[in-house]
Structure 1
Amino acid sequence: MRLLAITLLLATVSAAPLVRTADAASQTPSDMHAAVATVHYRSTKIQGLSVFYREAGPVDAPVVLLLHGFPTSSHMFRNLIPILADRYHVIAPDYPGFGQSDAPDHKTFKYGFGSYADIIDELLSGMGAKTYAMYVMDYGAPVGYRLALKHPERVSALIVQNGNAYDEGLGEFWDPIKAYWADGSSTHRDALSGLVTLETTKFQYTDGMSDISRISPDNWIQDQALLDRPGNKDIQMDLFYDYRTNVPLYPDFQKFFRDRQPPTLIVWGKNDKIFPAEGAHPYLRDLPKAEIHMLDTGHFALEDKLDEMAPLIRDFLDRQAAKR
């Protein structure tokens, strides 16, 4: 019987996705726990919409909120979540129009960053999350920072990965989008169609990466399948236009940084053309104690540099969020 139990245990561990490439013999107990962490895939009704989220970890542990970017979903955190779940209550939602959340017609639902912040606020309130560390990336930055303006006292820490809050971070890539902001014309809207094509989606995952062989093609295949759903192009065009409403809030975001001084870790893909390195360094003006790491990778840094980022994130959270 003992031999059977050992055999079953070994089979369970070997079947689980490993979060590191180290041999089993060199893994710590924490590594092994992360390798078999249970992630729950849930949905809840908010404002009449089904909002999907991934959840893992002890429900009474410090909350870590993971806010995804464009054009992906909570799927971008699939490998990070188990690494954090032994000590943290990890929550990673999909915004409406992304991932597994509802995607109502853009004529019946106002897609925008203010709406997203309100929905995430309701999700967290419903789950009883009174404080939370936030990991913000790309679209997740204005969503998270709007949430912080609503409840500044609830933000225990920030992890910033290629998420902008400064004018310096809106470089050449944004010029066609800024032209759309200027007049909202159908001509400039149509000119952005290339941003929702497979070519651009793949570009976001591969450009600037130090080792493309680390990046699963499943990423852009899955994201593109969701972008190609009927009506989703209009959703994304509405969001490109609404992004303009974040820029006037930059001074408010920066005031939040200065006033609250949340412990902050910046882990930034320095080769990103969408949110380039020029957007990372200005954080230090308002958060002089922030820890900053410029990584040799691109937009979706977790796909390429998880082995470097995960220890930085764990160490930061263990020193900052766990004690709050």
Structure 2
Amino acid sequence: MLVGGAQSANATSVVHYRYEQVGDVKVFYREAGNPSAPTVLLLHGFAASSFMFRELIPELADRYHVIAPDLPAFGFTEAPARGEYAYTFTQLAKTIGQFTEQLKLDKYALMVHDYGAPVGWRLAVAHPDRVTAIISQNGNAYEEGLGDSWAPIQKYWHEPTQQNRNALKDFPTPASIKWQYLEGVTDKRSVSPDGYTLEGLQISRPGNADIQLDLVLDYASNVAMYPTFQAYFRKYQPPLLAVWGKNDPFFLPAGAEAWKRDLPKADIRFYDTGHFALETHGKEIIPVIREFLDKNIR
């Protein structure tokens, strides 16, 4: 028989799968932990969904209330068709911001990855009093972090022609997603096919590729807001941990190191892997995240 404490810890580690109607978006999210415990909000990025946090969530749930939504156009969230919903980062942040308010999440630590970063930065700028700490897993906020892989995307930003859009047609495809999961990984056998297979199926849904190209175009708005995000870091000095795959072709280590300019106490750690560091180095990264949260918000 388990002792009472073990029963309690085991019960809080159970992950529940829920939906919350936010305007015309039915947001899917994963939830675990005691709602009275400090909240950790996990925001995934491109070529991913809340599924990327599947191993992290139960490892935090014994001490924290963990919420991981799927962004509109990702995972199991049900959102309107293109043309019926503005697929911009401002709108994604508005939807997720309303989601947090409906769930009454008035204080939370943010963990962000890729696209989840500019969504999270917008939440933090809008309500700095709500963010207790930040963890970034290859979630960028500095131009130094943009790798050479952005070149064709940047060309599209500057000249949003159909020709430049067509040049990116291979970006939102299952093959490209698989490449993103494997690029920069020394032992590719360490990458489970579950993640890139699931996201490959999601990207193949009718209309989703065009939505993703719309978001690629709008990513320029995030870069334009980098000075605003950086001003937030300087003014409010949130505790920050960066756990960074140093071989990421999109977000370079310099993007993580740049935080030291604005947050001198930032904890910056690099791992010998690619864009999806949790996929290959979860056993190393998860204890670091727990230690950071225990120190700063528990």
1:279 aligns with 2:279: no
1:215 aligns with 2:173: no
Deviation of 1:36 after TM superposition, in Å, equals 8.2
The 5-angstrom pairing of residues 121-140 of structure 1 reads: 121-140=97-116
Partner of 1:17: none
Is contact 1:41–1:52 with CA below 8 Å preserved after alignment?
A: yes
Partner of 2:33: 57
- Could you tell me how far apart the structure 1 residues matched to 2:114 and 2:11 are? 28
2:208 aligned to which of 224, 232, 236: 232
1:247 aligns with 2:247: no
- Code of the aligned partner of 2:105: A
- Code of the aligned partner of 2:142: Y
2:75 aligned to which of 99, 115, 139: 99
The 5-angstrom pairing of residues 97-246 of structure 1 reads: 97-246=73-222
Partner of 1:85: 61
Deviation of 1:106 after TM superposition, in Å, equals 1.1
Closer, same or farther in 2 for the Cα pair 1:293/1:34, shift >3 Å?
farther
1:307 aligns with 2:283: yes
1:258 aligns with 2:234: yes
Deviation of 1:171 after TM superposition, in Å, equals 2.1
Secondary structure, aligned partner of 2:74 = coil
- Could you tell me how far apart the structure 2 residues matched to 1:35 and 1:225 are? 32
Secondary structure, aligned partner of 1:101 = coil
Is contact 1:141–1:164 with CA below 8 Å preserved after alignment?
A: yes
Deviation of 1:187 after TM superposition, in Å, equals 0.7
Identify which range, 61-70 or 214-223, moves more after superposition. 214-223
TM-score with structure 2 setting the length: 0.95
Deviation of 1:210 after TM superposition, in Å, equals 3.5
Closer, same or farther in 2 for the Cα pair 1:211/1:321, shift >3 Å?
farther
- Could you tell me how far apart the structure 1 residues matched to 2:183 and 2:143 are? 23
- Could you tell me how far apart the structure 2 residues matched to 1:121 and 1:201 are? 27
- Could you tell me how far apart the structure 1 residues matched to 2:22 and 2:12 are? 31
- Code of the aligned partner of 1:277: P
Say what the alpha-carbon RMSD is for the aligned residues.
Answer: 1.6
Partner of 1:26: none
Closer, same or farther in 2 for the Cα pair 1:163/1:231, shift >3 Å?
same
TM-score with structure 1 setting the length: 0.88
- Could you tell me how far apart the structure 2 residues matched to 1:117 and 1:97 are? 13
User: Structure 1 unaligned runs (5+)?
Assistant: 1-5, 10-28
- Could you tell me how far apart the structure 2 residues matched to 1:34 and 1:300 are? 28
User: Structure 2 unaligned runs (5+)?
Assistant: none
Deviation of 1:214 after TM superposition, in Å, equals 2.4
Identify which range, 120-129 or 142-151, moves more after superposition. 120-129
- Could you tell me how far apart the structure 1 residues matched to 2:192 and 2:44 are? 18
Deviation of 1:222 after TM superposition, in Å, equals 0.6
1:43 aligned to which of 7, 19, 23: 19
Secondary structure, aligned partner of 1:251 = helix
Is contact 1:34–1:84 with CA below 8 Å preserved after alignment?
A: no
Flag the structure with larger Rg: 1
Per-residue Cα deviation, 1:114-170 (whole angstroms, up to 9, x for no partner): 111111111111111111100011001100001111101111000011111111111
Secondary structure, aligned partner of 1:96 = coil
Deviation of 1:79 after TM superposition, in Å, equals 0.6
Secondary structure, aligned partner of 1:196 = coil
Secondary structure, aligned partner of 2:86 = coil
- Could you tell me how far apart the structure 2 residues matched to 1:34 and 1:231 are? 41
Partner of 1:25: none
Closer, same or farther in 2 for the Cα pair 1:229/1:36, shift >3 Å?
same
- Code of the aligned partner of 1:150: A
Secondary structure, aligned partner of 1:194 = coil
Identity %: 51
